[in-house]
Amino acid sequence: MKLTKLKIIIGILFISLFSSAAVVSGATSIFKIGLDGFTLDMTRTKGKVQVGNKMVPATLSQNGTTYLAAPAIGEVIRANYKYDSKSNTLMFNSYKKSEDSTKIKTLQSQVSTLKNQVAELQSAKNKSEGWLEYRSKHFTLLYTKTYEKDIKQVEADFEKGYEVAVREFTNLLPEVKTMLNSDLYPIYIYLHPTATDQVSEGSAYNYTYGTAEVLKSEIHVLTPSAYQKKGYTLDGGKYDNPEYFTHLFKHEFIHTPQSMIAERLRGEKGWYPGGQETQWTKEGQAEYFAAKGTKDLEKNKSHWKPIILHNPQEHITLYKDNLVVRTPYIAGYMFTTFLYEQYGAKKYDTFLTSSKPTLEEAFVETFGGLEQVNKKWLEWLKK
């Protein structure tokens, strides 16, 4: 094959290049250049040189060598250029890419400034309300001086919630770890010193609000040392059990990535996150993930299975096209455990992300007919 010489003029620098000629549809390939990471052919057709569909000016052939003005190519394809002598390649980066990169850096700087301002405002608000701040690696704890001794244990328990969230939600939300470490998704955990209408022994809540891009979580719990420890948990346990607080705090933390997923799916076709009738999916999943891998799961199954089996209709109904869970923290927990153990996590993720408009339709599409699933459910309860 005939070799075609090509010299590139870069300022006053002359470079000799050689490439084999390939003829395609009357166009002879004389050189390859890179543009924004892609490779384009420089071709000669009837004596005219072009890159892609752009004609290249300022070329000159003399004594078998083609002289090319690199700045001219840059102007034609609107790009900056750089010659790499090691790879013998002329690389271009489009002006637009450079401009976009500059704009992105500017926006990132503005966002960073705004995040700092918001954090300062939040901190000032908390201080004015009498809260002290303790900044952990993944969240901020708000507490009162009287119960400062609770900080370390509470931090450790919520960190376990973080670990569970990253482990269990990565397949469904690959960026969950990044989001849980981002200032755009701040998490504030309030350790209340006294019981209120919403926070008491056995009662806590996670209030997460915002959008898929910016989300704030407020988790409100009664600080452990403020528990009177006179009551009993749903499954008959006592509040003075350290495992109780670990489970509760993991449960509440798990609601944060659930909300992230809900906001991501809200604008898409499908049933999730749904309304009040789908509460069991959130509470059941939070209970299951909080107990998974601990002795609590088998203990809870042994406690709740016979109770549900004694009168299933009080807890859950699966019949024809109707699925109703009446006790989200009991039947919702056990039914979610059943679904994960019987069908696996991938199936459950498919259920959540189904494009079907209702929970029942998504459920049947994923797991099969309700009566068929109900039969397996009752068998599982008897084990």
Q: Is the pLDDT confidence value at 158 over 60? A: yes
DSSP of 38-52, one letter per residue?
Answer: EEEEEEEETTEEEET
In sequence order, which residues have a C-beta less than 8 Å from that of residue 369 and are 6 or more positions away? none
Cβ atoms < 10 Å from Cβ of 249: 25
Mean pLDDT of the chain: 82
Token pair, residue 94, equals 């489009």
pLDDT for 2? 37
Tell me the average pLDDT across 44-58.
59
Contact 275, 362 (CB under 8 A): no
Cis upstream peptide for 242 (omega within 30°): no
DSSP state of 184: T
pLDDT for 113? 76
pTM for this model (two decimals): 0.71
pLDDT for 7? 45
Tell me the average pLDDT across 300-319.
96
Contact 258, 185 (CB under 8 A): no
Q: pLDDT tens digits for 312-369?
A: 999 999 988 899 999 999 999 999 999 999 999 999 999 999 999 999 999 999 999 9
SS (H, E, C) 279-322: HHHHHHHHHHHHHCCCHHHHHHHHHHHHHHHHCHHHCEEEECCE
